[in-house]
């Protein structure tokens, strides 16, 4: 009778804990990135009812009570919901975002509902700092209003997980201007003798829209005759740089000589000055560049170096975690990388509430997945921008499990009451 009382009591206590676990899951059903827990039960201990021969095929034992052995984190992928914020992030696959809270503790979460503080650090809604690695290509001004990109980067390779820091992403960032120094010309001048002209806008000082115009005129054949059978040719050209009002900044003359196949033999190519900045016209060589023959369409194409100044248009997040700055001049660069951390035993993480977890001896230290060459593996734990991961709990499963455990709790309660009544009856019998 006493064992019945004790076993039923442990059942009531344990099933109440199971109800608490599922009730906690249901109460967090709207928390982004929440990982549901699943309670698992075990016997407290067993006892041998009587001795049995060693050659028997059955045992003779009875159990004494139950306990909640573990409340295990589930690893199922939650469903995704789309948002309007670029820095609402979700992880597709295994992995955790790293957070540095206000006390300097390192935490981990699947809740990617991020934003910026007044200093433009990427943070959680509770003020914790999202960790990763800066590219080191932003020169921040003291008042954060005149920030400049110092280099174009296409990717970042992480250091150790311990070296990851806060991510500061300014909302004002300038892509520096690179002045035009070379204009490359290609195409076919032909043999018709028609005048050819091209023009292109140069990247100039003070963001001026200075324009280079070049006009070609055929003079004669390279042999000095105008025979129709002689397909060599000599062309003169005039190169003019004007400002946006049409005022001439520099004007130079030059010439090109082509052989009978149309390949460039010589080029008298003077240097131009764009407000003190030298500009060279590159016509190529006898294998590539400009030609003059009757084997193709007469046309001239132009390319140039130089980059106009640009201002930050927006940030974007690639699936490997790179934070990419897009500028209004059409250029882009990686400026940071958001860390995606992994553990040897995710289920060993310590739940500290609010969808945040701390590492433990059971979980092991955080790490990055790398290949044999030490290169970061980004195919596990893809970062999705403008997306949040919903809880991975199934409401249907939670409610059904809650009902099952509730019935077990009721049964244990009735067994406890029955055991109590049996003890009372035994005491009354002894009194008589």
- Say if residue 431's pLDDT is above 60: no
Q: How many residues does the chain have?
A: 432
Query: Which helix (H) or strand (E) is 311 found in, with range?
Result: strand 310-317
- Highest averaged pLDDT of the listed ranges 55-59, 61-65, 74-78, 314-318: 314-318
Distances (CA, A) of 186 to 26, 201, 216, 302: 68, 17, 13, 6
Predicted local distance difference test score (pLDDT) of residue 337: 95
Q: Which residue in 73, 20, 78 sits closest to 356, CA to CA? A: 73
**Residue-averaged pLDDT of the chain:** 86
Q: Which residue in 98, 88, 94 sits closest to 337, CA to CA? A: 98
Q: How confident is the model at residue 377 (pLDDT cuts 50, 70, 90)?
A: confident
Are 365 and 161 in contact by the 8 Å Cβ rule? The answer is yes
Distances (CA, A) of 190 to 216, 256, 288, 298, 328: 11, 13, 15, 5, 38
Predicted local distance difference test score (pLDDT) of residue 73: 84
pLDDT in tens, 206-242: 888 899 999 999 987 655 555 556 688 899 999 999 9
Predicted local distance difference test score (pLDDT) of residue 253: 95
Predicted local distance difference test score (pLDDT) of residue 47: 58
Predicted local distance difference test score (pLDDT) of residue 396: 80
Confidence (pTM): 0.78
End-to-end CA distance of the chain: 19
Query: Which helix (H) or strand (E) is 420 found in, with range?
Result: helix 395-431
Which is higher by pLDDT, 57 or 78? 78
Among 147-161, 259-273, 409-423, the least confident range: 409-423
Give just the sign of the alpha carbon dihedral 346, 347, 350, 352: positive
Name the E strands within 328-431. 332-338, 340-341, 350-353, 356-358, 382-384, 387-389
Predicted local distance difference test score (pLDDT) of residue 58: 62
The whole-angstrom separation of Cα 237 and Cα 221 is 15
Predicted local distance difference test score (pLDDT) of residue 49: 56
The whole-angstrom separation of Cα 218 and Cα 215 is 10
Predicted local distance difference test score (pLDDT) of residue 227: 55
% of the chain residues with pLDDT over 70: 90
Distances (CA, A) of 3 to 47, 51, 61, 74, 422: 11, 20, 14, 35, 12
Predicted local distance difference test score (pLDDT) of residue 50: 58
pLDDT in tens, 5-46: 677 777 777 878 888 888 888 888 888 888 888 888 777 766
- Highest averaged pLDDT of the listed ranges 186-195, 214-223, 283-292, 326-335: 326-335
Q: What does the domain layout of the chain look like in residue ranges?
A: 2-49+60-75+392-431, 80-175+311-389, 182-304
- 245-257 mean pLDDT: 94
DSSP 77: P
């Amino acid at each position: 009778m006493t064992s019945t009382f004790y076993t039923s009591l442990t059942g009531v206590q344990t099933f109440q804990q199971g109800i608490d676990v599922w009730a906690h899951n249901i109460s967090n059903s709207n928390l982004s990135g929440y990982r549901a827990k699943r309670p698992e039960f075990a016997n407290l201990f067993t006892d041998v009812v009587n001795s049995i021969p060693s050659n028997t095929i059955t045992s003779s034992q009875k159990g004494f009570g139950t306990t909640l052995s573990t409340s295990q984190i589930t690893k199922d992928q939650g469903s995704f919901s789309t948002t309007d914020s670029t820095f609402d992030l979700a992880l597709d696959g295994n992995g955790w975002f790293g957070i540095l809270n206000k006390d300097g503790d390192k935490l981990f979460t699947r809740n990617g509902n991020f934003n910026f503080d007044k200093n433009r650090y990427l943070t959680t809604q509770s003020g914790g700092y999202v960790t990763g690695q800066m590219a080191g290509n932003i020169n921040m001004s003291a008042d954060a209003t005149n920030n400049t990109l110092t280099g174009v980067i296409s990717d970042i390779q992480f250091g150790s997980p311990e070296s990851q820091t806060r991510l500061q992403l300014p909302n004002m960032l300038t892509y520096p201007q690179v002045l035009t120094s070379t204009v490359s010309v290609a195409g076919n001048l032909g043999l018709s003798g028609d005048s050819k002209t091209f023009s292109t806008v140069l990247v100039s000082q003070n963001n001026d829209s200075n324009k280079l115009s070049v006009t070609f005129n055929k003079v004669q054949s390279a042999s000095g005759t105008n025979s129709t059978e002689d397909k060599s040719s000599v062309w003169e050209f005039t190169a003019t740089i004007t400002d946006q009002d049409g005022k001439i900044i520099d004007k130079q003359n030059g010439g090109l000589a082509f052989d009978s196949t149309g390949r460039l033999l010589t080029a008298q190519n003077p240097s131009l000055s764009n407000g003190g900045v030298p500009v060279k016209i590159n016509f190529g060589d006898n294998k590539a560049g400009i030609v003059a023959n009757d084997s193709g369409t007469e046309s001239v194409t132009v390319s140039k170096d130089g980059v106009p100044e640009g201002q930050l248009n927006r940030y974007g997040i690639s699936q490997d975690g790179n934070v990419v700055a897009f500028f209004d001049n059409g250029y882009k660069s990686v400026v940071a990388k958001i860390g995606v951390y992994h553990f040897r035993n995710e289920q060993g993480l310590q739940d500290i509430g609010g969808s945040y977890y701390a590492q433990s001896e059971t979980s092991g230290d955080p790490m990055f997945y790398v290949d044999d060459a030490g290169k970061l593996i980004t195919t596990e734990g893809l970062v999705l921008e403008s997306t949040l991961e919903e809880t991975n709990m199934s409401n249907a499963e939670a409610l059904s499990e809650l009902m099952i455990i509730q019935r077990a709790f009721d049964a244990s309660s009735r067994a406890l009451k029955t055991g109590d009544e049996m003890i009372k009856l035994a005491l009354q019998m002894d009194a008589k």
